[in-house]
Structure 1
């Protein structure tokens, strides 16, 4: 690319594609054909996708899969997952089947509170500010009555507003720390609308507060925004069974339980291990969040902050053995929605929620937490028995064969061959070469 482009967003879709193809790629015609190949054949569906974001050229597909046989609180679910990584869906499905015969997954909502803040600078008498806040709080609530009316009718709204003092960390820094209940909506727009009105009311009321000096009246609102850290929007999922039911051909039951608990304990004290441990959990969580049209970036940020809440990054899951019973559980913050946003727009998202029997936000929290726990159980189980590569590389085999240009017949032969042989890049190349030579 030799020079910047002016007014790119105003170009037609065709002109955008032509500009990208001719200025940023090696083979413009191949680029144009590739982008058009991934358009939806239904023009109305494609128009819908084009309008989700800005400067759309084409669609970027992820596989949409199902992990069946999840028994959650006595009810069976097939969980939709959108993800590109091989072995994730297979591992989740394997865990679901394993626990299906042992009572399944039990879940509990520990809280549904969401957070937003108005950050402001006030360089004055702290006691005056506290007195002002006592007068301000009812005015804040009154100022958003038109915004909260419908949410309150459904049982949600604003839970509380607190004045918090951080002036020991940043000179003059205070905040209005606000908590919300948004029910089945993720609630970002609702929360941010309330916060921006709070900021305006704060400024307006400060100018009218007689005890403030002129300097104190001119407090500076820095920003008003929700937080994706939601430690009180929390769900717990767990599994348990007698140790004797854990045994398999790879390892005796008691040894497996001992090593499994040790592996989880290591992730609780060793951040290098905890990050990879939790990444495996997020394989399951993110896949369901994507399939149900929720914001996986927001969830990731909040989850990882929660994993470091004690001052050191650690495991999101926990395991123990008590009185001969193996227990494995997760507590994870999940701010999710089942109404609004993509949930009513994206056809595949609507299908995903339909497959889950149209869950409420709380039900979706439970399902997502279970997917993370199941994924982690499968990963740790592999790690302490056969090792992670045996199962993962076999699932990755087809990707490797596709990269090597294997024919359908060659793939069939090699899948059969590697049922009993170790999968590595070198071994697959050699086996494919042998077939082609013969």
Structure 2
């Protein structure tokens, strides 16, 4: 039996205690979770303009997640009730078939200097390429600290697009997301590029389309683990593969298919203090890389197995930004076992693939609403005005009703209170 069996039935303190026991994180992190410490006002007020306070979202965990032979607990920050439950469900099924496996070929971030009013773009392109080593050296001089740690500028590419001559700089940013590193280096080479091209620099800026930071996650699920009946299991697997194909040919479906993937990805990215807008922007660009927006994951049948795969460009970090400032984020990294940036990137892509599997399985079997509304019931009870003691009772009654909505929740709450008055 799993060490985390019945995890969802335990109270918050019991979950924290079990998680600390199994993941061996510090007492300091445990106290942050127990006391529910949020970003201190003294720090929050310096991170943004016109500061009014902090804004909280539910912080949950998927207790058992198997990636590359190692088990993790995934912290997730999300307000959508079904996300954590679905990811936990998917992780259990996939874990029984060996879990997820990942691959990262390289991890370079890209920035660009866009030049315009270039008299002879082709001649300028050739001149810039001839000066590649000088440009790389200049870029590294602009940010020597990353070079000392083993990173730095690695290559340049030059392209002519419409009226622009664009120089792309690829940099190994190590554990950082790389925005400040890239932008500093790009500013450092901008004047020299203007001199070489005899043009004007329009801008020098990091790109969030991290096409040289691709991460792949795969899983191989035994079809026999998908349900209770051999015939139904194979039909479910076939439908999941068909749903994957639909997301490749229909943009309307692809958008929702990918949104479901980001239900999981964003929840983990936010929990780790990373820039989810950058992650989303790059991934959506990747989804349309051949000119049509497509589903990011693919599911295919192979004998008695359902194969899932997803590749994403992932600008992710374990240092920098708000990562070192937010006590909750520090606790998150403690729970995860302090992964490096490559491992964290792999976890994030695998989480998206897991979320996608759970969503597709629900869609092609019971439908998405059954599970979603079951978990939404308690939120509806609270929204209807139920207090803590009433919420569970109303939620249980809501799940039995034909219409699980706010109006029904209000009616049930009124009936409950009338009965209490009569008693």
Cα gap change, 1:273 to 1:418, in 2 (>3 Å): same
1:62 aligns with 2:43: no
- The answer to whether 1:228 aligns with 2:208 is yes
Q: Does 1:198 align with 2:189?
A: yes
C-alpha displacement of 1:291? 0.6
Deviation at 1:249, TM superposition (A): 6.9
1:369 to 2:364 alignment: no
2:139 matched residue in structure 1? 144
Q: Is the 8 A contact 1:390 1:423 kept in 2?
A: no
The correspondence for 2:308, drawn from 296, 309, 328, is 328
Report what 2:358 is aligned to.
378
1:73 positional shift = 1.0
> Secondary structure in 1 aligned to 2:273?
coil
Once residues 144 and 182 of structure 2 are traced to their aligned partners in structure 1, the CA distance between those partners, rounded to angstroms, is 13
Instruction: Tell me the equivalent position of 2:244.
Output: 264
Q: CA deviation at 1:59?
A: 0.8
The aligned counterpart of 2:8 is none
User: CA 1:299 to 1:43, structure 2 compared with 1: closer, same or farther past 3 Å?
Assistant: closer
What's the counterpart of residue 429 of structure 1? Answer: 410
Q: CA deviation digits over 1:47-106, x for unaligned, max 9?
A: 011111111011111111111110111111111111111211111111112222221111
State whether residues 68 and 96 of structure 1, in contact with CA within 8 Å, keep that contact through their aligned partners in structure 2. no
TM-score (norm 2): 0.85
> Is the CA contact (8 Å cut-off) linking 2:140 and 2:147 kept in structure 1?
no
Q: Cα offset for 1:186?
A: 0.6
Structure-1 separation of matches of 2:276 and 2:38: 28
Correspondence 1:185 to 2:165: no
Equivalent residues of 1:250, 1:385 under 8 A apart: no
Provide the secondary structure at the position in 1 that maps to 2:298.
strand
Pair 1:384–1:131, CA change in 2 (3 A)? closer
Change (3 A) 1:88 1:136: same
1:111 counterpart = 2:106: yes
Residue 338 of structure 2 aligns with which residue?
Answer: 358
Among 40, 49, 52, the residue aligned to 1:45 = 40
1:410 alignment counterpart = 390
Please list every run of 5 or more consecutive structure 1 residues that lacks an aligned counterpart in the other structure.
1-39, 207-215
Cα 1:371–1:221 shift into 2, 3 Å: same
Change (3 A) 1:431 1:251: farther
Q: Write the distance in 2 (CA, Å) between the matches of 1:392 and 1:385.
A: 14
Give the number of equivalent residue pairs.
384
CA positional deviation for 1:412: 2.5
- Is 1:73 aligned to 2:68, yes or no? yes
Larger radius of gyration: 1
Change (3 A) 1:86 1:44: closer
2:119 to 98, 113, 124: 124
**Counterpart in 2 of 1:10?**
none
**Residue aligned with 1:342, SS:** coil
Question: How far apart in 2 are the matches of 1:149 and 1:156?
Answer: 9
The DSSP-based 3-state class of the residue aligned with 2:202 is: strand
Q: For residue 134 of structure 1, report the CA deviation from its aligned partner.
A: 4.3
Tell me which of 233, 237, 242 is aligned to 1:253.
Answer: 233
Superposed displacement of residue 419, structure 1: 4.7
Residue 88 of structure 1 is matched in structure 2 by: 83
Residue 223 (structure 2) pairs with residue 237 (structure 1): no
Which consecutive residues of structure 2, in runs of 5 or more, have no partner in the other structure? 1-34
Maintained 8 Å contact 1:277/1:376? yes
Q: Match of 1:397?
A: 377
Shift of 1:288: 0.7
Q: Report if the CA contact (8 A) 1:72-1:105 is conserved.
A: yes
Query: 1:381: Cα distance to partner?
Result: 0.9
